[in-house]
C-alpha cells in the first residue's frame, strides 16, 4: 500500500515490496521538488521488489522527474539489510533514520529501535552502531548483528 501526501512530497510504503509492489506509477502522482519516503511499515522485501525499489529510486533522480536525491525516514529493518547488500545503492539516497535489530546485554530484551542517522552520521560512517536505551531496564542496547549488515551504506 502506498500513501502520498505533501508538500514536500511524502511517500509512505506499507506491507510487502515484491512482484506486485508497482512503485513506478507513484512517480507520476508526485508534485515537483524533494521527496521523503517512509518505509517503517514495510514487512517483507524479495529480489523482484528490490529491483523495483532500486529502479524507483533511480527514476526519482532522473532529470525528467528531478526530485533530487530522495530522503528515507524510518527505513524498515528488512529493507535496510537488503540495501546494504547492494553497493550501487550507496550515494543514491539520504537516510535520515532507520530501524535495526538491537539486543540488551543486561536483561536480554530484543528490540528494533529507530536510529537517528543524521545525529550519528560520523559514527555510522565508521561502521559504529550508536547505543540505544533498553525499553525494559534503560541499559544501553547494542546492535545484534554485524555492523556491515546495516551500516555499509553509510561508508563515505
- Residues 17 and 46: their CA atoms lie apart, in Å, by 7
Neighbours of 156 (CB within 10 A): 7
Residues 119-138 that bind Zn ion (CB under 5 A): 134, 136-137
Residues 53-112 that bind Zn ion (CB under 5 A): 104, 106-107, 109
Say which residue the cell 552502531 belongs to.
Answer: 129
Query: At closest approach, how far in Å is the CB of 129 from Zn ion?
Result: 16
SS3 111: strand
DSSP, res 18:
S
Q: Return the CA Rg of the chain.
A: 16
Residue 36's DSSP bridge partners are 10, 71
Please give the size of the binding site for Zn ion, defined by CB under 5 A.
8
In the bound state with Zn ion, the residue whose beta carbon lies nearer, of 111 and 145, is: 111
In the bound state with Zn ion, the residue whose beta carbon lies nearer, of 10 and 109, is: 109
Choices 4-12, 50-58, 116-124, 139-147; region in contact with Zn ion by CB under 5 A: 139-147
Residues near Zn ion (CB under 5 A) are: 104, 106-107, 109, 134, 136-137, 139
Amino acid at each position: 500500500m502506498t500513501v502520498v501526501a505533501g508538500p514536500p512530497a511524502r511517500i509512505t510504503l506499507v506491507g510487502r515490496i515484491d512482484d506486485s509492489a508497482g512503485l513506478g506509477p507513484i512517480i507520476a502522482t508526485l508534485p515537483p521538488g524533494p521527496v521523503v519516503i517512509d518505509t517503517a511499515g514495510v514487512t517483507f522485501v524479495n529480489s523482484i521488489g528490490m529491483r523495483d525499489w532500486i529502479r524507483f529510486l533511480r527514476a526519482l533522480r532522473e532529470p525528467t522527474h528531478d526530485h533530487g536525491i530522495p530522503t528515507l525516514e524510518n527505513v524498515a529493518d528488512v529493507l535496510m539489510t537488503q540495501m546494504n547488500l547492494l553497493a550501487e545503492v550507496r550515494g543514491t539516497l539520504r537516510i535520515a533514520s532507520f530501524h535495526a535489530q538491537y539486543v540488551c546485554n543486561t536483561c536480554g530484551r530484543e528490540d528494533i529501535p529507530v536510529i537517528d542517522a543524521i545525529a550519528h552520521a560520523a559514527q555510522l560512517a565508521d561502521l559504529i552502531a550508536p547505543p540505544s536505551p533498553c525499553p525494559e531496564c534503560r541499559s544501553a542496547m547494542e546492535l545484534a548483528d554485524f555492523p556491515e549488515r546495516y551500516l555499509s551504506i553509510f561508508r563515505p
